Structure 1
């Protein structure tokens, strides 16, 4: 145990030097992402992350694996979500983990040379521990970075979908929902949720849903569309459909969906024109 503590102390003392040596060893020409940055702030943060890594990793010689990772996960989560690392190819990051692992094995060898009572068995045990922990770290980092990137991508897609299905207020309590492009089941569900929320927030009573820009629609999406219309009706929003393509009409018929309670116009211009006449007429009574 004394030898383990001594090794940890040696690595802690060597941490600043190890960071500088590691950074100088980076192949700035063939590397990518954060490792090639010329921005002083990025370089400083990269070195600080590496130095902090050395401080954490030195504890692996005096702590059990579970306790080590409970503490180390703080560093792991922070770096995995770092924007510079997210823009760096994962293979480059793995390569640097491996380089730092090699560096630690080298410093274990240097430590052993300073002490006559350190045997090859001690070195082998320490190297084995370093290799095992680094393997786990690499796997954890890849998993954490992938999960964070996937969640961020999902959020961006949700935002894009929400922006691609805006409820546009035309006047007072009248709005337009122009749907464009392919609509799959996931986007259809998002449109339903977003439209209900926007109509409630904007106090809409009449909503034009224009489908002329929808290229393709399947049975599940058609069903979701009618679910939207029914849900709008429940919150007091009357729907007016326009631009229904023959494919949608056919799909609706196959599903047994009825248009009887829905106002339909051949195109948006006609829908807006006819509805304005109805509004004017009703306002005169």
Structure 2
């Protein structure tokens, strides 16, 4: 039986480039276009695919322990290279089924052509084990990449600018510009609490006149932020919501109960006994 599996596997190894080329024909058209737009040359992708097919062929006659390390090394290398070169790794999962297909069909052709007595189920199981190992490794890479990407977005998003400006010894202004996403609110809350503590502030004004969007999740996050500040002994109010933004909030059914709101920064300052002096 092992001799037969060696013969089948060796045929797959020998024909690896031909089988790899067939995947280009079988793959989804939209995925093929994305590959062409990436920074990876087609010859490099062909080499990657041929290498995996070679491992699949060898898996038919080499023990799992000997081939698993090579498979994981291949998957990690190609996975990271794909991401760094703009190839969507999530869509590569679907392409893995094509590796199984072309390899299994090649094995069946060899069995039929030479009237071999190999069990198709045994061949299928060995091929599936390789595909599962690659899938598992790719999945780990995807999870790690997206986790890092989300943290990077949270910390370096250039659409949001956070600068607390002291007005009095206890009052400060937080002018916000750009787009506020619910993912930003934890960062805003942390930075606000830290700076209020460092500056010994007790009152903070959120000026949203430069903010282009306020949807329901964001409003809910602002309400949660006010509670956190209140628990820390810090008063918070909002001012400067644009008319177009206000209309959009009404349409979305946003509930502003619990938030202290002023139409302009001037009104918020007047409420606190601070008058702006007109420029002469």
Corresponding residue for residue 228 of structure 1? 229
DSSP 3-state at the match of 1:26: helix
TM-aligned CA distance change 1:176 to 1:188, over 3 Å: closer
- Given the alignment of the two structures, is residue 119 of structure 1 paired with residue 116 of structure 2, yes or no? yes
Distance 1:87 1:223, change over 3 A: closer
Give the TM-score normalised by structure 2: 0.59
User: Contact conserved, 1:178 with 1:209, CA < 8 A, in 2?
Assistant: yes
Give the aligned partner of residue 251 of structure 1. Answer: 258
How far off its partner does 1:46 sit? 0.8
Shift of 1:209: 2.3
Q: Secondary structure at the match of 1:33?
A: helix
| 2:176 aligned counterpart, secondary structure | strand
Residue 24 of structure 1, CA deviation: 5.6
Runs of 5+ in structure 2 lacking a partner? 242-253
1:3-32 Cα distance to aligned partner (Å, 9 max, x none): 4445545544x1xx5224532662399622
Query: Unaligned regions of 5+ residues in structure 1, if any?
Result: 253-258, 281-285
* Equivalent position SS for 1:192: helix
Match of 1:136 in 2: 132
Q: Match for residue 50 of structure 1?
A: 49
User: Which of 175, 189, 192 is the aligned partner of 1:192?
Assistant: 189
Looking at structure 1, the residues matched to 8 and 28 of structure 2 have their Cα atoms a distance apart, in angstroms, of: 34
* Distance in 2 between residues matched to 1:53 and 1:191, nearest whole Å: 46
- On the 8 A contact 2:16/2:51 being kept in 1, the answer is no
Q: TM-score, normalised by structure 1?
A: 0.59
Task: Using the TM superposition, give the Cα deviation of residue 189 of structure 1 relative to its aligned residue in structure 2, in angstroms.
Answer: 2.9
Over the aligned positions, Cα root-mean-square deviation in angstroms equals: 5.0
Q: 2:9·2:107 contact (CA, 8 Å) conserved in 1?
A: no
CA deviation profile, 1:6-63 (whole Å, cap 9, x unmatched): 5545544x1xx52245326623996223565177842132122112212332342244
Cα distance change of structure 1 residues 105 and 228 upon mapping to structure 2, 3 Å threshold: same
Counterpart in the other structure of 1:167: 162
Give 1:1-285 correspondences, 5 Å limit.
1-5=2-6, 7-12=8-13, 14=14, 17-23=15-21, 26-27=24-25, 31-34=29-32, 37=36, 41-65=40-64, 68-81=67-80, 82-83=82-83, 86-87=87-88, 90=91, 94=94, 96-109=95-108, 119-120=116-117, 122=118, 124-133=120-129, 136=132, 140=136, 143-144=139-140, 147=143, 150-151=146-147, 154-155=150-151, 158-159=154-155, 163=158, 165-168=160-163, 170=165, 176-178=174-176, 187-196=184-193, 199=195, 208-210=205-207, 214=214, 216=216, 217-218=219-220, 221-228=222-229, 230-231=231-232, 241-243=237-239, 248=256, 250-251=257-258, 267-270=264-267
Q: Which has the higher contact order (CA 8 A, sep 6+)?
A: 2
